[in-house]
Amino acid sequence: MEKEYLSVQKYLEQTVLTDHRIPEPINQLYKGEYQDIVKYLKEGTLVPVLGRNINLCGRQNNEAKELKNWQPENGGYPPSGRELAAYLARSCPIPSYFGREEVCCPLLDINTSDSADEQIAIPELFVKKAILTCPYSNQRLAVGIDLSYWSQCVALNSGSGELNDMLRSLFHREYTPNPVHEFFAELPTKLKNQCSSHPYQLIVTTNYDDVLENAFERENQPYDIVSYIATGDYCGKFRHRSSEDGRGEVIEKPGEYRYCSLKRQSVILKIHGAVDWTDSETKPDGFVITEDQYIDYLARASVSNILPTQLLTKLMNSHILFLGYDLSDWYMRAILHFIWKDKKIGENRKSWAIPFDAGKLASDLWQKRDVEMLKVPLESFIAELRNLL
């Protein structure tokens, strides 16, 4: 049987990102879960954690799937994690340690190269996310594109400054908010109209864009941003900015910091850094995105030593709602460990996940963390919460 291989370069040119949406289930299946989530939102005891795949919510028709060739101009949509990875990969030459362009299926414990000099370390290649065509099934292996890896490649080839400039160029634009962004931006007004004593939310996001902030501004809702500083003299700390004056302040004494309060307005916690629109005279804080940056991120002091006490207390004593959060990437699991350490997320309070990909691997990974996964499309989930509120 003749073996067919797919080169890494050709792989990047093809449609490698697919539509993982789940068929519409009957909302009655999760009626109790919906009611609990709405109850905790009203009580102020639920913290949403927004993953990169929330950017796939609300896209129209064929654009609902991840795009093989995402560009900033594609319909005004910010990228998902894999779309951003593919975008960076296209700007970066194939790294030398791929050995040669054509390689065999990494599931095979063999090496088909004739020359010893050209032999490829298959396990390493598999870890490095080279996606191939299996010579027996003739189907692509769904390993995925690793954002931290391709970011590292760009940083090594062009420099970290070039990578940060590229990211700022991508995110320094006004993308259109989707139903997830709009829901949380509208929530404070809805809860105040219902005389809730806890109308403001702590919203954690792993995204680099500022679409959520744009949604808040469209609703004339003030907010605070607390974002991680990934570069410079204050690397490893958080910076606080208020939407009302735009000025930033480094949080040097988290235990004593009292200037961002959920009693006054919502707080958006950006644990991977943020785009700086306002303070152009200050060196940008950068983003946590490369493999090296994630290693440095996790090697630093516990989050309990760098996050304002009132936000940490809120995070640790609340139910957690993960939306579009992808646990298939090692660094996204590492972030959970960075925040919760050895404590299981759902150990004391029930928590939920509505991922974009609801496969068995995702289910097992969430179950291991005592988080209940709801197999429901994100659009449907948000629509049902609106109805119940």
Higher confidence at residue 284 or residue 3? 284
Whether residue 208 lies inside any domain: the answer is yes
Task: Give me the domain span that covers residue 275.
Answer: 22-63+176-388
Banded pLDDT at 219 (limits 50, 70, 90): very high
Q: Is residue 117 within a helix (H) or strand (E), and if so which, with residue range?
A: none
Does 80 fall in a domain?
Answer: no
The reply to whether 8 falls in a domain is no
At how many degrees (to 10) do helices 179-193 and 211-218 cross?
Answer: 40
Rounded to 5 degrees, what angle do the CA atoms 14, 19, 22 make?
A: 165
In a domain, 116, yes or no: no
Ranges 10-24, 217-231, 249-263, 311-325: which has the least confidence: 10-24
DSSP annotation of 96: G
Left, alpha or beta for 27 (phi > 0: left; psi -120 to 50: alpha)? alpha
CATH number for the domain spanning 339: value is 3.40.50
Tell me how far apart the alpha carbons of residues 165 and 167 are, in angstroms, rounded to a whole number. Answer: 5
Tokens 């913290």 belong to: 47
pLDDT band at 283 (very low <50, low <70, confident <90, very high): low
How many domains does the structure of the chain reveal? 1
Residue 226 lies in a domain: yes
Contact of 264 with 252, CB cutoff 8 Å: no
Nearest to 60 by CA among 22, 14, 19: 19
Least confident of 104-108, 157-161, 321-325: 104-108
Q: Is the pLDDT of residue 198 over 90?
A: yes
* Element spanning 41, H or E: helix 31-43
> H/E/C letters for each residue in 141-156?
CCCCCCHHHHHHHHHH
The token duo for 240 is: 């606080």
Decide if 111 is inside a domain.
Answer: no
**Range of lowest pLDDT (40-49, 140-149, 338-347):** 140-149
Residue-level pLDDT at 5: 37
Q: Decide if 106 contacts 88 (C-beta within 8 A).
A: no
Whole-Å CA distances, 332 to 18, 165, 271, 318, 329: 20, 23, 11, 20, 6
Q: Alpha-carbon distance 85 to 312, whole Å?
A: 30
Angle at 67 between CA 357 and CA 175, to 5 degrees: 95
Angle at 311 between CA 310 and CA 315, to 5 degrees: 120
CB 34 within 8 A of CB 27: yes
- What is the distance in angstroms between the CA of the first residue and the CA of the last residue of the chain? 60
Q: Is residue 338 part of a domain?
A: yes
pLDDT in tens, 337-379: 777 775 666 567 889 999 876 677 778 888 888 889 998 889 8
Is 256 within the bounds of a domain?
yes
Residue 97 burial class via C-beta count within 10 angstroms: exposed 0-12, middle 13-18, buried 19 and up: exposed
